[in-house]
Homo-oligomer: A and B are copies of this chain.
Amino acid sequence: MTKKHNIILQPSGSRGQVEEGTSIRSAARDLGVEIESICAENATCGKCMVLIEEGRFEKYNIDSRREHVSPVTNEEAAYFARRPKLLKDKGWEVGQVRLSCQCKIRGDVLINVPEESRGNKQIVRKSATQREIEVKPSIRKYLVSMSPPTLERPIADWERLAKGLETSMALVRGTEEKLPRWHELSIDYQCLRTLSSTLREAKWNVTVSVWQDKEVVQVQAGYHEDSYGAAVDIGSTTVALYLCNLRTGEVLAAESEMNPQIVYGEDVMSRIQYTIEHPDGLEKLHKAIISTLNKLLKQATHTAKIKTSEILEMVLVGNSTMHHLLLNLNPKDLGLAPFVPAIHSSVDVKARELGLHINSAGNIHVLPTIASFVGADTSAMLLAEEPHKQDENWLLIDVGTNAELVLGNSKRLVCTSTPTGPALEGAHVEYGMRAAPGAIERVHINEQTLEPKYKIVGEGNWNEGKAKGICGSAIIDAVAELFRAGIVDSRGKFKTGLESNRIRKGESGWEYVIAWAEETSIGRDIPMTQQDVRQIQLAKAALFTAARTLLKRSGLESPDKIILAGGFGSYIDKEKAMLIGLIPDCILENVYAVGNAAGDGARIALLNVEKRREIESVTRKVERFELPTDPEFQNQFMLATSFPHMSEPFPHIAHLIPNRVADPMAKNFMK
Contact between chains at B626 and A343 (CB < 8 Å) = no
Contact flag A347-B629 (CB < 8 Å), given A155-B340, A156-B342: no
- Contact pick for A328, options B159, B193, B338, CB 8 Å: B193
Contacts of A589 in B (CB 8 A): none
In this complex, the member of A340, A349, A372 whose beta carbon has the largest number of chain B beta carbons within 10 angstroms is A340
The answer to the question of A305 belonging to the interface, with a C-beta cut-off of 8 Å to chain B, is no
Contact between chains at B196 and A157 (CB < 8 Å) = no
In this complex, the member of A156, A620, A628 whose beta carbon has the largest number of chain B beta carbons within 10 angstroms is A156
Contact flag A332-B189 (CB < 8 Å), given A151-B626, A152-B629: no
The answer to the question of A344 belonging to the interface, with a C-beta cut-off of 8 Å to chain B, is yes
The answer to the question of A158 belonging to the interface, with a C-beta cut-off of 8 Å to chain B, is yes
Contacts of A187 in B (CB 8 A): 343
- Contact pick for A340, options B149, B197, B340, B369, CB 8 Å: B149
Contact between chains at B154 and A343 (CB < 8 Å) = no
Give the distance to chain B from A206, nearest Cβ to Cβ, in Å: 14
Interface residues of A in 322-377 (CB under 8 A from B): 327-330, 332-333, 337-345, 347, 349, 353, 369, 371-372
Give the distance to chain B from A160, nearest Cβ to Cβ, in Å: 8
Contacts of A197 in B (CB 8 A): 330
Contact between chains at B151 and A337 (CB < 8 Å) = yes
The answer to the question of A83 belonging to the interface, with a C-beta cut-off of 8 Å to chain B, is no
Contact between chains at B149 and A192 (CB < 8 Å) = no
The answer to the question of A200 belonging to the interface, with a C-beta cut-off of 8 Å to chain B, is yes
Contacts of A183 in B (CB 8 A): 345, 620
Contact between chains at B159 and A192 (CB < 8 Å) = no
In this complex, the member of A342, A344, A353, A629 whose beta carbon has the largest number of chain B beta carbons within 10 angstroms is A342
Q: How far is the CA of A343 from the CA of B340 in the complex (A)?
A: 44
Contact between chains at A343 and B629 (CB < 8 Å) = no
Contact between chains at B156 and A189 (CB < 8 Å) = no
Contact between chains at B152 and A341 (CB < 8 Å) = no
Q: How far is the CA of A330 from the CA of B199 in the complex (A)?
A: 13
Contact between chains at B371 and A340 (CB < 8 Å) = no
- Contact pick for A189, options B150, B330, B349, CB 8 Å: B349
Contact between chains at A156 and B343 (CB < 8 Å) = yes
The answer to the question of A171 belonging to the interface, with a C-beta cut-off of 8 Å to chain B, is no
- Contact pick for A338, options B151, B327, B620, B624, CB 8 Å: B151
Chain B's closest residue to A354 (CB) is B189
Chain B's closest residue to A330 (CB) is B196
Q: How far is the CA of A371 from the CA of B190 in the complex (A)?
A: 22
Q: How far is the CA of A443 from the CA of B304 in the complex (A)?
A: 77
Contact between chains at B151 and A342 (CB < 8 Å) = no
The answer to the question of A195 belonging to the interface, with a C-beta cut-off of 8 Å to chain B, is yes
- Contact pick for A150, options B154, B333, B338, CB 8 Å: B338
Contacts of A343 in B (CB 8 A): 156-159, 187, 192, 195
Interface residues of A in 162-221 (CB under 8 A from B): 183, 187, 189-190, 192-193, 195-197, 200
Contact flag A196-B329 (CB < 8 Å), given A344-B156, A349-B189, A369-B156: yes
Q: How far is the CA of A157 from the CA of B342 in the complex (A)?
A: 5
The quantity of this chain's copies bound in the complex is 2
Interface residues of A in 109-163 (CB under 8 A from B): 149-152, 154-159
Contacts of A150 in B (CB 8 A): 338
Q: How far is the CA of A156 from the CA of B329 in the complex (A)?
A: 12
Contact between chains at A157 and B189 (CB < 8 Å) = no
Give the distance to chain B from A192, nearest Cβ to Cβ, in Å: 6
Contacts of A189 in B (CB 8 A): 327, 347, 349, 353
Contacts of A345 in B (CB 8 A): 158-159, 183
Contacts of A340 in B (CB 8 A): 149, 154-157, 196
Contacts of A624 in B (CB 8 A): 154
Q: How far is the CA of A332 from the CA of B330 in the complex (A)?
A: 44
Give the distance to chain B from A272, nearest Cβ to Cβ, in Å: 13
Give the distance to chain B from A335, nearest Cβ to Cβ, in Å: 12
Q: How far is the CA of A372 from the CA of B349 in the complex (A)?
A: 33
Contact between chains at B329 and A151 (CB < 8 Å) = no
Chain B's closest residue to A152 (CB) is B629
Contacts of A353 in B (CB 8 A): 189-190
- Contact pick for A154, options B154, B196, B338, CB 8 Å: B338
Q: How far is the CA of A192 from the CA of B353 in the complex (A)?
A: 13
In this complex, the member of A192, A200, A330, A371 whose beta carbon has the largest number of chain B beta carbons within 10 angstroms is A192
Contacts of A159 in B (CB 8 A): 343-345
Q: How far is the CA of A187 from the CA of B343 in the complex (A)?
A: 10
Q: How far is the CA of A459 from the CA of B195 in the complex (A)?
A: 53
Q: How far is the CA of A193 from the CA of B331 in the complex (A)?
A: 10
Q: How far is the CA of A538 from the CA of B338 in the complex (A)?
A: 77
In this complex, the member of A151, A183, A353, A629 whose beta carbon has the largest number of chain B beta carbons within 10 angstroms is A151
Q: How far is the CA of A183 from the CA of B618 in the complex (A)?
A: 13
- Contact pick for A342, options B192, B329, B332, B628, CB 8 Å: B192
Contact between chains at B158 and A344 (CB < 8 Å) = yes
- Contact pick for A196, options B151, B333, B347, CB 8 Å: B333
Q: How far is the CA of A396 from the CA of B400 in the complex (A)?
A: 71
Contacts of A196 in B (CB 8 A): 329-330, 332-333, 340, 342
Q: How far is the CA of A389 from the CA of B187 in the complex (A)?
A: 31
Chain B's closest residue to A370 (CB) is B156
Give the distance to chain B from A47, nearest Cβ to Cβ, in Å: 31
Chain B's closest residue to A627 (CB) is B151
Give the distance to chain B from A264, nearest Cβ to Cβ, in Å: 20
Q: How far is the CA of A464 from the CA of B58 in the complex (A)?
A: 107
A-B contact pairs, 5 of them (CB 8 A): A151-B339, A156-B341, A158-B345, A187-B343, A196-B332
A-B contacts besides A151-B628, A192-B327, 6 pairs, CB < 8 Å: A151-B339, A156-B342, A156-B344, A187-B343, A189-B347, A200-B333
6 closest cross-chain pairs (CB), A and B: A158-B343, A156-B344, A154-B338, A156-B341, A151-B338, A149-B340
